[in-house]
Amino acid sequence: MKIWRIVIGILLLLCFEIHLLYFVKQSDFFALLLDYTGLFIVYCFLFYSCKEKLSNKFIFSLFSATRVVGLFAFPMLSDDIYRFWWDGYFNFQGFNPFQYKPNELIALHPEYLQDASIKSIYSHLNSPEYYSVYPAICQFLFLIAAKISSTNLALFAIVLKVIFIAIDFIIVIYLKKLLETFNKSNHSSLFYILNPLILIEIHGNLHFEILILLGLCLSLYFLFQNSFFKSGIWFGVSIIGKLTSGIFAPLILHLFI
């Protein structure tokens, strides 16, 4: 492994990531295409260049660098963040997000629009006429972030990103344990750690598929440790995070029945 190539590759990956998260808007099609293409090219280069066993220090340095650089970038590639804040803030105010649609809440309490921050966020909601579609576990995280940030949307996003980094750290730890279970090189963990979809869609745009990944990773780990109760609990967490992970249930049953 030639160190200078790896260093250049990592710097290029971080540059593409920073440009995409801080400077590219949802409508900038060609910039999105260029940055995503560059990210995946560098991602493949790094994955196939680091073939030997890697130190834990190197792996977690990569993990930290690729997550922390986007910590202060406001999610510009998705407008979901506005609904996240809305659910969390008004839940904190005592309004159940499954009971009140945003437009109904404003109709009942128009005085909230006197606050410029709330008025601006309300205008950015992509579905004010719908009840919240986010499950209780997501609502709990929204509530924590809103309680800390109040009407500061930028701080709300930062708090969620810190929570995501903490969750992702747990995922990487158990991913490493899974690789050890199958006697695989920890080099394979780069397939996840450097994945552009993880960096941009989860840590950049704050999509809650990270809960699916957390639940599935821990569920598989405990499954192969023959700890079926813990495995079931974490698979449940994955499904609670998003029903999509339920498609893996037949595969898991097929492996062990």
Mind listing the pLDDT tens digit for each residue in 88-147?
999 999 999 999 999 999 999 999 999 999 999 999 998 899 999 999 999 999 999 999
Closest residue by Cα to residue 77 from 31, 120, 123, 38:
31
- Taking the C-alpha atoms of residue 61 and residue 133, their distance in angstroms, rounded to an integer, is 36
Name the percent of the chain lying above pLDDT 70: 97
- 163 pLDDT higher than 90: yes
Nearest to 118 by CA among 155, 150, 80, 73: 150
Q: Which residues, in sequence order, are CB contacts of 226 under 8 Å at separation 6+?
A: none
Say if residue 158's pLDDT is above 90.
yes
Domain boundaries, the chain: 3-75+158-256, 80-155
DSSP structural state of residue 130: S
pLDDT for res 255: 65
| Closest to 221 (Cα-Cα) out of 164, 171, 166 | 171
Res. 152: pLDDT tops 80: yes
Could you tell me if 20 and 32 are in contact, meaning their C-beta atoms sit under 8 angstroms apart?
Answer: yes
Please report the pLDDT score of residue 257 as a whole number: 59
Taking the C-alpha atoms of residue 241 and residue 210, their distance in angstroms, rounded to an integer, is 8
**What are the pLDDT digits (tens) for 180-221?**
998 888 888 999 999 999 999 999 999 999 999 999 999 999
